[in-house]
Each structure stands twice: as C-alpha cells, then as structure tokens.
Amino acid sequence: MQSFVVGATGIVGSYIVEHLVKSGETPLALSRVNHRSCGVVWLQGDLATPETLKPPSFETLYCTAEVGRLADALPHIYTPALRRVVAFTSTSIVTKIESEVAAERELLRRLAEGEGRLIATCERYNVGWTILRPTIIYAEGRDGNISRLARLIRRFGMLPLMGDGAGLRQPVHAEDLAIGAIAAAASDAAIGKTYALPGGETISYREMVGRIFDALNKPRRIISAPPFVWRLAFALAKPLLPNANPAMGARMAKDMVFDPAPAVRDFGWNPRGFHPRFEK
C-alpha cells in the first residue's frame, strides 16, 4: 500500500512517516522545502498550490495540514487508486468555538468548514474519510503547548496559574497520534467518522503543569494567582508566548475532556499516560 503524508515535517506528520517506514513501506511525503531521507520519497511543493503537485499514484492520504486546504487540493491530487483519507483537526472546534479571541474563532470556523468540505469532496470521489481531533498535542521540545510551558519553567523556575488550575486536561503525545492515524486508516469501522483523540490520562491543569516541573527535575513552584496578578504575569511573559492570549487563564478552570471509547472500539486507540521527558 502506498501512502502520501501531507504535513510530513510537522510533529505528528513526521511520526507518521517514521512509523510507515518502520512497517516496511516507502511513503510519499510532501514538504515546501527540499528533503532527503532513507526510505521516503519526498515531494517538494505546497498544498496551497495543488495544481503544481504531481504525486504518483497512492492509496492512503494522511494530512496534518489545515483541513480546508486539503479539501481544496484533493481534486487536483486525486488518483483513482485513492481509497482512504485520514485528516487531523482539533477538539478546540468543540471547546473554543465561542472564544473571546476573534482570531481563535476565525481559525476554528475555518477548521469546522474545512471538515465539511473535505467530507463532501471525499464522498464525491467515493473515498473513505476519517477525521481525527486531538486534545493538547505534545512532543518534547517540539510542540507549542507543553514544551512552551517547559521553557517558561526553565527560565523563571516557577509558573503562575489563574486560580487553582482545576480544569481537566488530556494531553496526547504526537507519536501516539501517528500510530492511531495509521490504525484508523486500516480500519473499515473508522470510515465516515470523526473521533476525539485524548491522551491516556485525565488530570487537572495544575497537575499537568506539575508533571512538567517533575520532567525538568525542578521543584513544583506553582503559584495560584487572582486574575489581575495572573494578567500582569502574562503581560511580562508575553514575549515568550507569541501565540498565547489572556483567555488562557480563564480556561485553566474549564474542563476539556473527551471520550476515547469510540476510537478504542474502532481502531484500538491506546495512548500513553502523561509523563513527558525533556533532555537535560
């Protein structure tokens, strides 16, 4: 089976490529810049200009890039051999769609509309589709969530939370998402379905932060701050948080929990617990 990985240099896409190679496959992989690696056929190009892409025939398409771009590109890169599309979006479509931050609302609106367009396009071409919505994605040192918090802890030796950080979270490792995507592509039961993909543990935001301290071999210096103090601390740390916004504080008290049971049932979803490891 020939696979095509779009978003192959990202934290999830790179793990998909790695596991396909380990399984004995020689996957196609798309990148905007020139790449070479053993066991991978790299295609240089951009999903935003799909008319320039000329991939050889493939049967399975994995996409970690923005789903709307895939929906628009699929008619240009479709081949008659294509049988399965597995695309990633985010559980934020559910938890943040009414965000007070306009840019977040716009991004999530695009994701939700993109899902709909991709589904319609796949059904028009009679291609089986699966949409995967992860929770907080991490890959030690590479992601913009857990690793960003780790950088703040390394720099300041402490971390303020707005309130007590009791909101529940389910961080999920990028490698587990890759393994899950490959399993979903092989499962007939997953065709035509959308799945939440939470991590293997449900813990409070405070405990999640505490385990990052543990992974860095630092004492847990977590400060519960009232809103005005937290906003002041956020303003001081903003240069280290280029994609963050003040709404993060209010969400620390909100549960963002999803049921893994459908993914467990249909393709054996089995993610690890949250015990990150960072290089010393």
- Residues 3-21, mean pLDDT to the nearest whole number: 96
Does the residue 94 lie in any domain? yes
Does the residue 76 lie in any domain? yes
Look at residue 200 in the predicted model and tell me its pLDDT. 97
pLDDT in tens, 266-278: 999 999 999 999 9
Does the residue 267 lie in any domain? no
Q: pTM of the prediction?
A: 0.93
pLDDT at 96 over 90: no
Does the residue 120 lie in any domain? yes
Does the residue 185 lie in any domain? no
Does the residue 183 lie in any domain? no
pLDDT at 89 over 90: yes
- The CATH number for 101's domain is 3.40.50.720
Look at residue 253 in the predicted model and tell me its pLDDT. 87
Angstrom distance (rounded) from CA 201 to CA 198: 8
Question: In the chain, how long is the greatest CA-to-CA distance?
Answer: 58
Angstrom distance (rounded) from CA 118 to CA 73: 10
Domain with 20, as residue range(s), is 1-134
pLDDT in tens, 58-83: 999 999 999 999 999 999 999 999 99
pLDDT in tens, 192-234: 999 999 999 999 999 999 999 999 999 999 988 887 777 776 6
Query: Total structural domains in the chain?
Result: 1
Does the residue 1 lie in any domain? yes
- Residues 123-134, mean pLDDT to the nearest whole number: 98
Look at residue 99 in the predicted model and tell me its pLDDT. 72
Does the residue 156 lie in any domain? no
Query: What 3 state SS string does 130-195 have?
Result: EEEEECCEECCCCCCCHHHHHHHHHHHCCEEEECCCCCEECCEEHHHHHHHHHHHHCCHHHCCEEE
